[in-house]
Amino acid sequence: MTGSHSAPQDVFDEMFRRSPVMAILRGLDRPTTLDLCHRLWDLGVVAVEIPVQREADLATLAAAVTAGVHRRRPVGAGTVTSVELVAQVAAAGAAFTVAPGLDEHVLTACTGLGMAHLPGVATGTEVQHATRLGLRWTKAFPAAQLGSAWITAMLAPFPDARFVATGGITTTNAGEFLSAGAAAVSLGGSLADADDAAIHTLIAGP
């Protein structure tokens, strides 16, 4: 199965080449989500993730996807933990999916529908398994608990891995993870609450 899931991940290469930051807009109503999407896109953030944990989140995701199409910005679905949910977010137009862990069934369903998948990893065993499945991009989760040194340590045996540090990342500690070798960082409320200058600094990278 090596390499069989690698092609759809090209979307991450493009997104994070343009900006090493992904916004996680969790549990917000549709107007607030759309307002934040446009603000963050205006500031240079390219990737937006809408976690889908409630029925209403699917409608919010679809609205953000539509807005993203007009702005030429990819919008993905987060917390995608089942094959059934894969089908629902694909119908809503998600460009990619994100999950807290690595589930081969979810990965295969996403790939089959042409969506890039970003699964969570937290151990060398999981990174190695993801690599064997052809995944270059994974989510280091929960990053704050793992620590930035985890990124550096994992890149030694897996130099081609691309980690998106997620979980407890703020505008204050994001630079530490990028400096440690993370290819990108994902931020939730701290990004939405940050001022424009802090976001510009984060996008510029370490």
Is 104 considered catalytic here? no
CA dihedral 30, 205, 43, 192 (to 10 degrees): 30
Q: Is the pLDDT assigned to residue 4 strictly greater than 60?
A: no
Q: Of 153, 150, 157, 156, whose CA–CA distance to 165 is shortest?
A: 150
Q: Which of 14, 49, 104, 139 is catalytic?
A: 139
**pLDDT tens profile 22-67:** 999 999 999 999 999 999 999 999 999 999 999 999 999 999 999 9
pLDDT value at 2 more than 60: no
Please give the full DSSP string across 24-72, using - where no structure is assigned.
E--S--HHHHHHHHHHHHHHT--EEEEE--SHHHHHHHHHHHHHHHHHT
Catalytic residue among 55, 84, 104, 176: 55
Distance CA 31, CA 49 (A): 16
Q: What is the pLDDT of residue 6?
A: 58
The yes-or-no answer on residue 139 being catalytic is yes
Rounded mean pLDDT, 189-197: 91
Determine contact, residues 171/23, Cβ cutoff 8 Å: no
Q: Which residue has the tokens 């600094």?
A: 201
Give the per-residue pLDDT at 102: 97
Angle at Cα 103 formed by Cα 57 and Cα 125, nearest 5°?
Answer: 130
Beta bridge partners of 139: 120, 164
